[in-house]
Amino acid sequence: MKPLVLTVISIIISVVASLAGLRWLGIFAGALAIAGACWQQVQSHPFEWCFADDVWQKIDGQFQLTIPKRRHGKSHPTATVYMGAPPKFQQIGCDISTGAEEEIIIGASQTFRGKVVVV
């Protein structure tokens, strides 16, 4: 949502600045609009991570994978977990939660090979 707001406001400022004859402000706002559009493009791509069965951590009798926000880069993330190996994956159900710092925590009773997709 933030990239969209930045883009729309920058376009409005650019148009108003151009009509008011403030060429420098119009160019600056246009550049911000382009940056906002690029930010939207990056945010729209899902984060995908293929993982091996040896990357799981055993915590309190359960196996966990943790993906920090700095790695997946999404705000208010939603994750889907798949079991298998490229190119064949099957969606599975397992414990998926989001921590206080928007990290994704995946829990399972046993380790497996697969991938996670975060949007």
Residue-range definition of the domain harbouring residue 59 = 47-118
Amino acid at 70: R
Q: Do 75 and 114 belong together in one domain?
A: yes
Q: What is the pTM of this model?
A: 0.70
pLDDT-derived band of residue 40, with 50, 70 and 90 as boundaries? confident
The values of phi and psi at residue 48, to 5°, are: -125, 135
pLDDT at 43 over 80: no
Indicate if 56 and 31 belong to the same structural domain: no
The Cα 80–Cα 82 span in angstroms is: 7
Claim to verify: residue 36 and residue 94 sit in the same structural domain: no
User: Which two structure tokens, joined as six digits, stand for 33?
Assistant: 């609009």
Tell me: do 78 and 38 sit in the same domain: no
Specify the number of domains making up the chain.
Answer: 2
Q: Are residues 38 and 64 in the same domain?
A: no
Q: Number of helices and strands (H, E) in the chain?
A: 3, 8
Q: Is residue 15 located within the same domain as residue 52?
A: no
Same domain, residue pair 34 and 57: no
**99 and 51 belong to one structural domain:** yes
In percent, the amount of the chain with pLDDT more than 90 equals 79
Same domain (yes/no): 56, 107: yes
